[in-house]
């Protein structure tokens, strides 16, 4: 049915108020309302006890004041269309988003990340062809995924009818999450919520079509499988019993609707990897470290300041990780009396400590044995390295495809990064220092244990063909600690 023909669905007082705001007089409005009810000029003239020429004059003035052009019935049709459009805009402006923020963090004091915010906003709002159904914010622990998701959700919420935030940190089953979402959204009864998960997904998709909704699922890595203890692992696979999350993500990404699902995760789910694309409705934001000025604001909020030189060194050593910088600010205040120079001197050989180490432990422990091997080699190299170079160092016992899979898996776990200009890979500074700490620890255990130098035989710590500055760093960070252990 043509919406413009069904003008009776519009409240009459809205049409009257809207017409008066355009300068339409009472006598003109009388004729206009009758015309909108599909009454002919003769019927209007008879009802108002005026001539048909007077009816045409009143309607003509109304069309002029509304800015309607055309002739005959076309004018009336165009006016109906305009009234509907204006009414929908009015309804949208009056609509208040229904919100359930769950365990979302407070972002009142949030600052920075403007580039990331603008990119996410474009993906989530966009126009009909650019708008994304599924957006994933990925990055290493502490990089600020959750707070960025909360910030962007606050910015765009006015464009949605419903917003719901849920954390997956405690690995809830999909059925539980779907029940919570459906209970919050319109149109569901308690008996419907007892249905199976597949039907819940289908009903949710239907609601996403009929209502513009923003769903946020935080900490999605909690439902993804660890590679710990496996020879070969693959990031993005699901824990046993959580595979239906993958089906859910796929349905949300592929079904036609105007809603959005926003995920945060340390690791990329396999469906996201398969469905993302430049011209596709699934996008991924890989969170970078903060810039110098953003780092300065983070430290200032902790009551801490330092010179540009010291700030640049901190950002480099900790790869611009916001949580690491906050931890450092607390340490410098509590242990070094805000003497940043003294702190930097104390971490020359190892900048990874406390909660920073715990965060990296959590991610490293999820790696398969092959992924750990690649991580050790990348840390020892201390520079970008190609797949071919990795293959040469690992030998023929590991196939090219296995190496490719391990590197891609590490990328999806946010533990390595790719050179923008070619297919070469390396670790962030803070990750590299963490892995070097593990290498030194293992090397010391080899020296002090019965199987002497077993680890060193597999991973020679000093690469003879490395550049001179790299060899010097290798000696300072790897061989000196081990040499000290030999004297114990």
User: pLDDT by residue (tens digit) across 318-366?
Assistant: 999 999 999 999 999 999 988 999 999 999 888 999 999 999 999 999 9
Give residue 488's pLDDT band: very low, low, confident or very high (50, 70, 90): very low
Which domains does the chain possess? 3-94 (1.10.10.10), 99-286 (3.40.50.300), 292-347 (no CATH), 361-486 (1.10.10)
The C-alpha atoms of residue 278 and residue 282 are separated, in whole angstroms, by 8
Give whichever of 2-16, 310-324, 456-470 has the largest mean pLDDT: 310-324
Q: Comparing 99 with 479, which gets the higher pLDDT?
A: 99
The C-alpha atoms of residue 60 and residue 54 are separated, in whole angstroms, by 10
Backbone torsions φ then ψ of 182, nearest 5 degrees = -65, -35
Task: Convert the pLDDT of each residue in 428-448 to its tens digit.
Answer: 999 999 999 998 887 656 555
The mean pLDDT value of the chain amounts to 86
Please give the pLDDT value at position 89: 72
Q: Is the pLDDT of residue 306 over 70?
A: yes
Which of the residue ranges 389-393, 444-448, 463-467 would you say has the lowest mean pLDDT?
Answer: 463-467
134-138 and 282-286 beta bridge pairing: parallel
Task: Convert the pLDDT of each residue in 284-294 to its tens digit.
Answer: 999 999 999 99
Please give the pLDDT value at position 93: 59
The C-alpha atoms of residue 213 and residue 247 are separated, in whole angstroms, by 19
Q: Which residues contact 283 (CB under 8 A, 6 or more apart)?
A: 123, 132, 134, 135, 136, 276
Q: At 100, which helix (H) or strand (E)?
A: strand 98-100
Name the maximum alpha-carbon separation found in the chain. Answer: 114
Q: What is the 3-state secondary structure (H, E, C) of 329-352?
A: HHHHHHHHCCCHHHHHHHCCCCCC
Q: Is the pLDDT of residue 451 over 60?
A: no
Task: Convert the pLDDT of each residue in 100-152 to its tens digit.
Answer: 999 999 988 888 899 999 999 999 998 656 789 999 999 999 999 999 999 99
Q: Which residues contact 359 (CB under 8 A, 6 or more apart)?
A: 140, 141, 142, 323
Please give the pLDDT value at position 188: 61
Give residue 464's pLDDT band: very low, low, confident or very high (50, 70, 90): very low
Q: What is the mean pLDDT of residues 227-248?
A: 92
Which of the residue ranges 24-28, 216-220, 391-395, 458-462 would you say has the lowest mean pLDDT?
Answer: 458-462
Q: Is the pLDDT of residue 86 over 90?
A: no
Task: Convert the pLDDT of each residue in 202-229 to its tens digit.
Answer: 999 999 998 999 999 999 999 999 988 8
Please give the pLDDT value at position 481: 53
Which of the residue ranges 2-6, 265-269, 275-279 would you say has the lowest mean pLDDT?
Answer: 2-6
Q: What is the mean pLDDT of residues 406-413?
A: 95
The C-alpha atoms of residue 62 and residue 79 are separated, in whole angstroms, by 10
238 secondary structure, DSSP code: B
Please give the pLDDT value at position 330: 93
């Amino acid at each position: 049915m043509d919406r413009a023909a069904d003008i009776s669905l519009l409240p009459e007082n809205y049409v009257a108020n809207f017409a008066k705001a355009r300068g339409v007089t009472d006598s003109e409005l009388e004729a206009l309302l009758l015309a909108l009810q599909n009454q002919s000029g003769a019927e209007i003239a008879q009802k108002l006890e005026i001539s048909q020429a007077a009816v045409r004059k009143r309607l003509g003035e109304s069309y002029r004041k509304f800015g309607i052009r055309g002739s005959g019935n076309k004018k009336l049709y165009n006016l109906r269309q305009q009234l509907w459009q204006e009414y929908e805009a009015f309804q949208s402006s009056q609509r208040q988003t229904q919100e359930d923020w769950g365990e979302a963090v407070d972002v009142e004091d949030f600052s920075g990340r403007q580039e990331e915010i603008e990119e996410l906003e474009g993906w989530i709002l966009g126009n009909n062809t650019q708008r994304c159904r599924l957006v994933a914010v990925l990055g290493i622990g502490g990089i600020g995924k959750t707070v960025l998701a909360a910030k962007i959700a606050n910015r765009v919420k006015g464009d949605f009818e419903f917003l719901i935030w849920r954390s997956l940190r405690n690995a809830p089953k999909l059925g539980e999450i779907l029940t919570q979402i459906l209970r919050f959204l319109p149109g569901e009864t308690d008996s419907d919520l007892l249905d199976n998960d597949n039907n819940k997904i289908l009903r949710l998709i239907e609601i996403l079509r009929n209502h513009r909704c923003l769903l946020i699922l935080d900490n999605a890595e909690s439902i993804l499988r660890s590679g710990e203890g496996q020879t070969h692992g693959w990031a993005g696979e699901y824990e046993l019993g959580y595979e239906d999350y993958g089906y859910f993500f796929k349905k949300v990404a592929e079904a036609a609707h105007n809603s959005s699902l926003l995920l945060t995760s340390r690791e990329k789910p396999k469906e996201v990897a398969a469905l993302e694309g430049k011209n596709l409705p699934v996008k991924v934001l890989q969170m970078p470290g903060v810039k110098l000025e953003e780092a300065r604001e983070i430290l200032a909020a902790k009551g801490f300041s330092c010179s540009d030189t010291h700030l640049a060194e901190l950002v480099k050593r900790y790869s611009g990780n916001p949580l690491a910088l906050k931890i450092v600010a607390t340490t410098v205040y509590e242990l070094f009396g805000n003497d940043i120079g003294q702190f930097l001197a104390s971490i020359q050989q190892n900048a990874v400590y406390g909660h920073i180490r715990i965060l990296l432990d959590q991610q490293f422990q999820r790696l398969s044995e092959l992924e750990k091997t690649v991580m050790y080699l990348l840390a020892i190299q201390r520079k970008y390295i190609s797949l071919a170079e990795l293959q040469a160092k690992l030998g023929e016992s590991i196939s090219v495809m296995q190496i490719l899979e391990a590197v891609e898996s590490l990328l999806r776990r946010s533990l390595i990064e790719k050179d923008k200009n070619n297919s070469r890979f390396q670790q962030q500074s803070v990750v590299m220092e963490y892995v070097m700490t593990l290498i030194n620890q293992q090397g010391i255990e080899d020296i002090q244990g019965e199987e002497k130098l077993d680890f060193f035989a597999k991973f020679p710590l000093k690469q003879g063909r490395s550049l001179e500055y790299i060899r010097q760093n290798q000696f300072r960070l790897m061989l000196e600690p081990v040499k000290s252990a030999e004297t114990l």
